[in-house]
């Protein structure tokens, strides 16, 4: 199969492919998604096959507006209107209880809930409108590997496997959306993202809980990305605390490790290692934006035994960055002891 790169003027053709059951990757402000018509179960099955994704992993349903959720949702949480008004379109996925048989079990992972999002990308919103159906859109990459933040990343992973990729350059945020579970009385964040716990609490004037439970391989996750190991390159990753860099570098040299470095410019300037990916600046925003690109670049360089990665405090956007980095590193920190 030839995988075509689509530009804005080819949206009609991309939508036609989706209507016909083909797969088309699309851009969002977070990462690129692998699109299929959410109402065509056979197309959705192809998403799992192409990604090599476990079929118990539920998919996020991408909509062009809030009205598109109404044929599926059984009951909305009382805070829904305020949340949608303030955060949609944007990097926030909402989980609701759904009407029986309104979505295929292959979309929901067999659960009685489903996840919905309105992405903040004009091209993709227009694509959904032209398709006249919501689109599933897990990250457009090989399952478990770093998510794609450019069309080139998608092409690298899925060329020859999907019909096309709608190109809109690099994504703005760089990690997947926040997932907020609204299926119970209390809102719970299942996956942190750019819409932080602090932002939600400020807008909603209520306590938001963060579920830190890591789903085992035998469990069915309620949202994507909840497994212990995820977003991981083939090269092992070790997280390095701010005070541990000297010892981590000495450890690598002593054990003749070929080290790669994933960090901001202040840390990178201190250490000369073979491969490096330096974030644009020392902020957590720059680190979040560059995390997946960095993991991919260092892994593809194929010259390292280990990737040493910078950590950040787990609050605000740092919670999202660390959530992805911990899973990429399989929870492993450099142990100075």
Q: What is the pLDDT of residues 36-50, one digit of tens each?
A: 999 999 999 999 999
pTM of the entire structure?
Answer: 0.93
Q: Taking the CA of residue 53 as centre, how many other CA atoms within 13 Å lie in the half-sphere pointing to its CB?
A: 31
Nearby residues of 280 by Cβ (< 8 Å), 6 or more positions away: 286, 289, 290
Q: Counting beta carbons within 10 angstroms of the beta carbon of residue 135, is it exposed (0 to 12), middle (13 to 18) or buried (19 or more)?
A: buried
- pLDDT tens track for 61-98: 999 999 999 999 999 999 999 999 999 999 999 999 99
Q: Counting beta carbons within 10 angstroms of the beta carbon of residue 185, is it exposed (0 to 12), middle (13 to 18) or buried (19 or more)?
A: exposed
pLDDT of amino acid 229? 59
Q: Is the pLDDT of residue 54 over 80?
A: no
Q: Is the pLDDT of residue 240 over 80?
A: yes
pLDDT of amino acid 37? 98
pLDDT averaged over the chain? 94
* Domain limits, the chain: 4-210, 237-328
Please give the average per-residue pLDDT across 117-131, as a whole number.
98
The model's confidence at residue 56, banded by pLDDT at 50, 70 and 90, is confident
Nearby residues of 254 by Cβ (< 8 Å), 6 or more positions away: none
- pLDDT tens track for 191-232: 999 999 999 999 999 999 998 766 665 566 676 655 555 778
Q: Report domain 237-328's class.
A: alpha beta
Cα–Cα distance for residue pair 191/319, rounded to 1 Å: 9
* Pick from 123, 170, 166, 164: nearest CA to 149: 170
pLDDT of amino acid 216? 60
| CATH fit for domain 4-210, picks 3.90.850.10, 3.40.50.1820, 3.90.1170.50, 3.90.870.10 | 3.90.870.10
């Amino acid at each position: 199969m030839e995988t075509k790169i689509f530009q804005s003027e080819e949206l009609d053709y991309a939508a036609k492919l989706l209507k016909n059951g083909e797969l088309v990757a699309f851009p969002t402000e977070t990462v690129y998604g692998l699109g299929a018509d959410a109402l065509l179960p056979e197309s959705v099955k192809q998403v799992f096959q192409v990604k090599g994704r476990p079929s118990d992993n539920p998919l996020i349903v991408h909509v062009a507006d809030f009205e598109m959720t109404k044929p599926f949702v059984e009951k909305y949480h009382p805070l829904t209107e305020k949340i949608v008004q303030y955060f949609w379109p944007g990097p926030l996925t909402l989980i609701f209880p759904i009407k029986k048989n309104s979505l295929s079990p292959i979309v929901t992972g067999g659960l009685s809930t489903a996840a919905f999002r309105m992405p903040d990308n004009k091209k993709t919103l227009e694509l959904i409108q032209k398709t006249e159906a919501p689109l599933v859109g897990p990250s457009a990459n090989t399952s478990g590997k770093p998510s794609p933040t450019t069309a080139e990343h998608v092409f690298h992973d899925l060329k020859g496997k999907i019909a096309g990729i709608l190109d809109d350059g690099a994504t703005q945020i760089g990690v997947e959306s926040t997932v907020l579970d609204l299926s119970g009385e209390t809102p719970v964040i299942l996956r942190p993202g750019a819409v932080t716990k602090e932002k939600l609490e400020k807008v909603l004037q209520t306590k938001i809980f963060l579920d830190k439970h890591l789903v085992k391989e035998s469990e069915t996750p309620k949202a994507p990305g909840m497994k212990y190991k995820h977003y991981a390159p083939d090269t092992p990753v070790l997280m390095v605390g701010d005070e541990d860099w000297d010892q981590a570098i000495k450890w690598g040299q002593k054990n003749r490790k070929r080290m790669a470095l994933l960090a901001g410019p202040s840390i990178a300037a201190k250490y000369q290692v073979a491969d490096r990916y330096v974030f644009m600046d020392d902020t957590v925003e720059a680190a979040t934006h560059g995390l997946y690109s960095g993991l991919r670049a260092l892994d593809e360089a194929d010259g390292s035994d280990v990737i040493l990665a910078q950590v950040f405090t787990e609050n605000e956007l740092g919670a999202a960055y660390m959530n992805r980095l911990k899973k990429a590193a399989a929870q492993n920190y450099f142990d100075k002891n």
